[in-house]
Structures are given as structure tokens and as C-alpha cells.
Amino acid sequence: MNVDGIKKGIVLDHIKAGRGMDIYRLLHLEKMKCSVAIVQNARSTKYGRKDIIKIDEMITLDMDMLGYIDPNITINIVENGKLHEKKNLELPEKLTNVIRCHNPRCITSTEQEIKHTFLLADRENRIYRCIYCDVAHKEQMVYY
């Protein structure tokens, strides 16, 4: 399979195998007019298998969302066909409208205009807490 190299754009590398399509949807890449390629189950010396997304245009990425979904993703910025910058992600301290508070007693359950905001409470166990009700959010559910 041939996927052309990109002149100017972004390559999301080291995506956990199987998560590529989730990230494609979360970044709303289906709405892009440029070429977007998803490579699934590519061989990886680091992880065994991985997914890759190539976007043939510079776009603003939601780094918090990506960091939350998979902090091992590497973001490669390509300019003039060459790697211009490599960014590593980490679990973000704050999430805004990435995950949704599921506490029915929380004010976010009734006030539509309030942004669902979480702060990282426990990095090791990936626990975030809603800033309004303090309820912990453990599973990797994404708000979109």
C-alpha cells in the first residue's frame, strides 16, 4: 500500500492500534477537504502495532483531547516535505469539553452552557475530577 508523503501537514504517529478511527472522528477529520490517510496496524518497533494519521494540511489540534486519549501519540509537524517539529503529549492537567460529567446531581447535568471541565487529580491512575462536583472520572469516555 502506498501513501504519499506530505509536503506540509501533520502526522500523528504511535497511536495505539485500534484508536486511529476514534481520533479521526474526534478531530472531525471527515470534514477536511485535504487528503487524510489512516494507517491501521502498522508495524512499530516501540509498540508492536500502531495506527498513524497523516493530514495534508496544517490544522489546530486539540492537544488536551489527544493527550487524554493517548499520551503516547507523537505529533510530527511537516514543512517542505521534511520533519519540522516533533511534539510529545502528556496527560493534560485540565480537560475542557473532552469528557462529560455523568453525575446527575452536578450542575453540568442541567445547565447546557457550562463547559464540562475536569482537573487531573491522580496522574498515575488517570483520575480526573469535575471542577463543579468533584466526582472522579476514571473510564476513558470522550465528550463530542
User: Is the Cβ of residue 135 or residue 142 nearer to other proteins in the bound state?
Assistant: 135
Query: What's the CA gap between 69 and 62, in Å, rounded?
Result: 11
Instruction: Supply 11's cell numbers.
Output: 502526522
Nearest approach in angstroms of CB 118 to other proteins is 12
Measured distance CA(134)–CA(126) in Å, rounded = 15
Residue 76 makes contact with other proteins by CB under 8 A: no
Residues 54 and 6: their CA atoms lie apart, in Å, by 8
Element of type H or E holding 40? strand 36-44
Q: Per CB under 8 A, does 134 bind other proteins?
A: yes
- Encoded one letter per residue, x for contact with other proteins by CB under 8 A and - for no contact, window 88-117 reads ---------------x-xxxxxxxxxx---
CB of 68 vs other proteins, minimal distance in Å: 20
Q: Tell me the closest approach of the beta carbon of residue 83 to other proteins, in angstroms.
A: 41
For residues 28 to 67, the per-residue mask of contacts with other proteins, x marking binding by CB under 8 A and - elsewhere, is ----------------------------------------
Query: Given the DSSP bridges, would you call strands 48-55 and 74-79 parallel, antiparallel or unpaired?
Result: unpaired
Q: Is 130 in the site for other proteins (CB under 8 A)?
A: yes
User: DSSP of 2-38, one letter per residue?
Assistant: -----SSEEEEEEEETT-HHHHHHHTTGGG-SS-EEE
Point out which residues bind other proteins (CB under 8 A): 103, 105-114, 121, 129-136
